[in-house]
Amino acid sequence: MAGCPPPLPAEFKSTGFWCEENVYLLIQQFLLSHITASWDVFAIIVSNVDKSVALWNQKLAQHDLYPVVWDYHVVMALRLRTASSSGLQQSDGADDLGDTTGAICRCWVYDFDTRLGLPCPAERYITQSFCPCPARFQSMFRVVPGQDYIDYFASDRSHMLLPSPSQLQIEGQRPEYSKPPPDHPCLVGKKAAEAGVTNNLMQSFVSMDMQSLGTMYGRVLTLQEMVNWISVVQ
C-alpha cells in the first residue's frame, strides 16, 4: 500500500550507542530489497557546531519531559519516490528527494533510540523530538542519500575509545570502548576504501559545515529546512 512504510528486516540486530553503524547496516539491507522501487533511502546525521544537541522522546531520557543531549545522532529516513526533484542529488546525479505532495505520509524515520515508534512518521518525529531549546542545543541535519552513505562512510571507532593513561596501545591488547562495540568489523564503504579512507565519521558526516553542499557527504539543513524537507502537503 502506498505510504505504508516497510518494517525492519527480519532478525535485524542493532547495537546501543552505535547509531551510525546501525543505520549503515539498515540502509544496506533496504538498498538490496524491493523497497527501493517505491522509496528513496537517506541517512540523517543530527548534530551542531558544538556537537551538543537535545532530542526529546529518547529511550535514555530520565523523565518523559527531559531531553537527551547527544554529541551526534544518526537515523534513517524513507521518502516515497516521485518524478520531481527538490535539489539534493545523489553524487551520480540521480534524483533523490522528490516532493511531498499528497495526503498520505510520504516520509518515515527509523530511529532505534526513540520512544515515538519504529518507524515513525517524519512530521511527528521532527515535532516531538526537536522542541524549543537554547541555541547551543539546537540541531542541524546532514541529509545523505543512502547509497552515498554506504559508499563513502568509514569509521575506525576511535571516537568511542576510552583514553589510555599512557596514550599508547600495548601490542596485542584489545581496545577498550566507552560502550560495547558491535560484533561486526569496522565499517568502511567501497569508495572510501578505494580512496584509502579508514575514518571520516566525525570530519565528513558529523561535521555541520554548511559549505559541503552537493557532495557525496550530503547537504546540511537547519531545523526549518528539515521541516520543509519532510512536510506532507495535504
Per-residue model confidence as pLDDT tens digits over 117-162? 999 999 999 999 999 999 999 999 999 999 999 999 999 999 999 9
Domain for residue 6, yes or no?
A: no
The domain that contains 95 carries what CATH number? Answer: 3.10.620.10
Pairing of strands 219-221, 39-47: unpaired
With the C-alpha atoms ordered 27, 30, 143, 120, is the resulting torsion angle positive or negative? negative
Reference 219, options 228, 227, 209; nearest CA is 209
CA angle centred on 158, ends 188 and 109, rounded to 5°: 60
- What's the number of domains the chain is made of? 1
Q: What is the pLDDT of residues 200-229, one digit of tens each?
A: 999 999 999 887 655 899 999 999 999 999
How far apart are alpha carbons 55 and 69 in whole angstroms? 6
Domain for residue 12, yes or no?
A: no
Domain for residue 7, yes or no?
A: no
pLDDT for the residue 173 = 74
Q: What is the pLDDT of residues 50-105, one digit of tens each?
A: 999 999 999 999 999 999 999 999 999 999 987 444 334 444 433 333 333 345 78
pLDDT for the residue 174 = 80
Reference 23, options 2, 40, 42; nearest CA is 42
Over 80: is that where the pLDDT of 232 sits? Answer: no
Q: What is the pLDDT of residues 8-29, one digit of tens each?
A: 999 999 999 999 999 999 999 9
Residue 41 Ramachandran class (φ > 0 left, ψ -120 to 50 alpha, else beta): beta
Domain of 152?
Answer: 19-160+174-230
Domain for residue 9, yes or no?
A: no
